[in-house]
């Protein structure tokens, strides 16, 4: 079977229009290649989830999109502008939640911090900011340095949403939040997207939390995109097959797809395969397997399967 790291998973999302693109984006930190010729495409109005293990380059990519990391080669376009040349203008149109929960000036109160942020965002909606603050139970009189990780994350989310930006870049946005506040955050994001046309890029380890919102997926490993595609295409082409097989069965020599994950007992298999459903089923059947069931994976399950296979091959 072909190594999934070299498989022809979809990368090109067509002609757009795109809110975010990169071409050949590369960045090293010493000998570590954080981004390796990355071609990102985020359609306008999409909720695009970026998944990958620690060290895959997700945070570096988002910081490059913000103009906070200087890349070595390649190009970046954010809403038609280059953050390397127009960083302040680009950032004014982005709602950003960084991976690091620490922010602001230690001596500032939360209320003063939000007022400070409003200066940099002409579209700041003060009433909306107050509404979000109430829902998150934020005390505007608290000093920033006294906030817990979860409290800081709530303030960051308010800061990102309050000016209703055309682009949200959210790096682990639910990190530090308890289950109740995570659910409330999902509700807030859903309502925000319904009220304010927005493109969203979310980097997260907890794909299952944001899965109801997601319509595009990018899988990142070692600074390279393994694939980027609409959610429906991922669910339609990466499938789990259960089949009964003869004793000593070794599988088909070739499939109309690629085996991403193999498991099962001696007389039964559970395989996750990328490819056309009819072609894969036919290949298994012609090799002597009796296919019992075929089912799609959740986005979270699909990402885990792709990444675990890549890691196994690399080790």
Ordered DSSP codes for 7-68:
S-------S--EEEEEEEEEEEETTEEEEEEE--EEETT-EEEEE--TTSSHHHHHHHHTT-
If one counts every other C-beta atom within 10 angstroms of the C-beta of residue 245, the result is 20
End-to-end Cα spacing for the chain = 17
Identify the sign of the CA torsion 127, 128, 130, 135: positive
Are the beta carbons of 303 and 207 closer than 8 angstroms?
yes
The C-alpha torsion from 56 through 3 and 42 to 303, rounded to 10°, is: -70
pLDDT of residue 8: 55
pLDDT bracket for residue 1 (50, 70, 90): very low
* Mean predicted confidence (pLDDT) in 170-188: 94
Is the pLDDT at 4 greater than 70? The verdict is: no
d(CA 304, CA 307): 5
d(CA 312, CA 315): 5
d(CA 190, CA 181): 14
pLDDT bracket for residue 18 (50, 70, 90): very high
The tens digit of pLDDT for each residue in 187-244 reads 999 999 999 989 999 998 889 999 999 999 999 989 999 889 999 999 999 999 999 9
d(CA 84, CA 77): 9
Share of the chain above pLDDT 70, in %: 94
Full-model pTM: 0.90
d(CA 291, CA 248): 17
d(CA 267, CA 246): 6
Domains and CATH numbers, the chain: 4-229 (3.40.50.300), 233-314 (no CATH)
* Alpha-carbon 279 to chain mean position: 30
């Amino acid at each position: 079977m072909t190594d999934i790291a070299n498989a022809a998973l979809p990368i090109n999302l067509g002609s757009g229009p795109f809110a975010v693109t990169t071409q050949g984006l590369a960045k090293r930190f010493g000998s570590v290649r954080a981004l390796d010729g990355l071609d990102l495409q985020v359609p306008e109005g999409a909720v695009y989830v970026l998944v990958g293990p620690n060290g895959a380059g997700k945070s570096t990519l988002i910081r490059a999109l913000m103009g906070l990391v200087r890349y070595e080669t390649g190009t970046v376009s954010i809403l038609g502008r280059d953050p390397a040349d127009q960083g302040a203008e680009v950032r004014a149109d982005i709602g950003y939640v960084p991976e690091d929960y620490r922010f602001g000036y230690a001596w500032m109160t939360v209320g003063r911090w939000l007022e400070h942020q409003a200066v940099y965002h002409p579209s700041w909606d003060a009433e909306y900011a107050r509404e979000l603050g109430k829902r998150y139970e934020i005390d505007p009189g608290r000093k920033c340095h006294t906030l817990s990780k979860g409290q800081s994350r709530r303030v960051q989310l308010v800061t990102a949403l309050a000016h209703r930006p055309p682009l949200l870049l959210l790096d682990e946005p639910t990190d530090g939040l308890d289950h109740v506040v995570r659910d409330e955050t999902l509700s807030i994001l859903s309502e925000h997207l319904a009220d304010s046309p927005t493109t969203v890029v979310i980097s997260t380890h907890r794909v299952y939390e944001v899965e109801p919102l997601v319509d595009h997926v990018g899988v990142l490993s070692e600074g390279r995109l393994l694939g980027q595609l609409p959610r429906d295409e991922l669910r339609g082409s990466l499938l789990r097959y259960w089949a009964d097989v003869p004793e000593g069965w070794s599988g088909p020599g070739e499939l109309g797809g690629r085996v991403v994950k193999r498991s099962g007992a001696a007389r039964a298999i559970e395989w996750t395969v990328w490819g056309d459903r009819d072609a894969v089923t036919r290949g298994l059947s012609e090799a002597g397997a009796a296919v019992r069931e075929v089912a799609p994976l959740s986005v979270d399950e699909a990402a885990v399967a792709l990444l675990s296979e890549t890691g196994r091959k690399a080790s």
